């Protein structure tokens, strides 16, 4: 594990602090008029998702953790776990629902997902900015009911419920923003 100083912190950097894997959400170097400089940080725990504020002395050494990103293909559910296959080695691995986090709302069998690994542990996922999914269930649109901007609930093939325009029918494919969970356009 590489060591770095608090002076070199950047947003998004991952650190191993007291056996906790944390990501720097934001940081601020503070140099008061009196006393030594310090670095105020907001850290998010990769495993629990909790966010904590922590202050370090300027120049204090911290352990940097390197996260490996690999493209995997989601194959199927096995109880609460998701079975994924590495696209390069064809190795299969069970990924917990906690590690999949919100990705489980946007993937179907055969979807690609980027797994974030620290050693042998899967700590999270990355998805593309948008995905195309099929509408499994929604109320049919009524002729003449075309109020501008009106929305109705629709259930996607993954089970996620989103708001869609009135003209979207069951069986339609739609593009969904994975960051906000909002309808973007018809596919």
> How confident is the model at residue 20, as a pLDDT?
84
Over pLDDT 90: what percentage of the chain?
Answer: 15
Over pLDDT 70: what percentage of the chain?
Answer: 95
Q: What is the CATH number of the domain that holds 110?
A: 2.40.50.140
> How confident is the model at residue 129, as a pLDDT?
87
Same structural domain, 96 and 135: no
The CA distances from residue 24 to 5, 36, 51, 93, 181, in Å, are 13, 22, 10, 28, 24
Token pair 């009524």 in the structure block, residue: 142
Same structural domain, 57 and 76: no
- Domain membership of residue 55 as a residue range: 2-64
Neighbours of 183 (CB within 10 A): 19
Across 94-106, average pLDDT:
85
**Residue 43 binned pLDDT confidence (cut-offs 50, 70, 90):** very high
Q: What is the CATH number of the domain that holds 37?
A: 2.30.30.30
Same structural domain, 49 and 14: yes
Same structural domain, 148 and 135: yes
Inform me whether the pLDDT recorded for 148 exceeds 80.
no
Inform me whether the pLDDT recorded for 42 exceeds 90.
yes
Across 29-42, average pLDDT:
89
Number of domains making up the chain: 3
Same structural domain, 80 and 122: yes
Inform me whether the pLDDT recorded for 40 exceeds 90.
yes
Listed residue (164, 166, 115) closest to 175, CA to CA: 164
**Residue 145 binned pLDDT confidence (cut-offs 50, 70, 90):** low
Task: Yes or no: say if 14 and 46 are a contact pair by the CB < 8 Å rule.
Answer: yes
Same structural domain, 95 and 113: yes
- CA dist 166 and 139 (Å) reads 9
> How confident is the model at residue 105, as a pLDDT?
87
The last residue of one of the domains, among 126, 141, 168, is: 126
- Average predicted confidence (pLDDT) for the chain: 86
The last residue of one of the domains, among 64, 89, 111, is: 64
Across 127-138, average pLDDT:
88
SS3 141: coil
- CA dist 79 and 81 (Å) reads 6
Token pair 């929604």 in the structure block, residue: 138
The CA distances from residue 110 to 24, 74, 84, in Å, are 32, 5, 9
Same structural domain, 79 and 102: yes
Inform me whether the pLDDT recorded for 144 exceeds 90.
no
The last residue of one of the domains, among 87, 105, 126, is: 126
Written as six digits, the tokens of 131 are 């995905």
Distance of CA 145 to the CA centre of its chain: 36
Same structural domain, 58 and 88: no
Inform me whether the pLDDT recorded for 122 exceeds 70.
yes
Inform me whether the pLDDT recorded for 58 exceeds 80.
yes
């Amino acid at each position: 594990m590489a060591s770095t100083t608090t002076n070199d912190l950047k947003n998004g950097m991952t650190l191993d602090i007291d056996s906790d894997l944390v990501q720097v959400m934001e940081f601020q170097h503070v140099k008061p008029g009196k006393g030594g400089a310090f670095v105020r940080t907001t850290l998010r725990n990769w495993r629990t998702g909790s966010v904590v504020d922590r202050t370090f002395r300027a120049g204090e050494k911290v352990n940097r953790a390197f996260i490996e990103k690999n493209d995997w293909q989601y194959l199927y559910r096995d109880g609460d776990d998701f079975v994924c296959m590495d696209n390069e080695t064809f190795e299969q691995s069970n990924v917990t629902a906690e590690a999949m986090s919100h990705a489980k709302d946007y993937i179907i069998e055969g979807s690609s997902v980027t797994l974030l690994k620290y050693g042998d542990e899967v700590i999270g996922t990355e998805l593309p900015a948008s995905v195309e999914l099929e509408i499994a269930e929604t109320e049919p649109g009524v002729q003449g009911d075309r109020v501008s901007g009106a929305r109705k609930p629709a259930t996607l093939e993954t089970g996620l419920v989103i708001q869609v325009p009135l003209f979207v029918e069951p069986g339609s494919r739609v593009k969904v923003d994975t960051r906000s969970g909002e309808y973007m356009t018809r596919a």
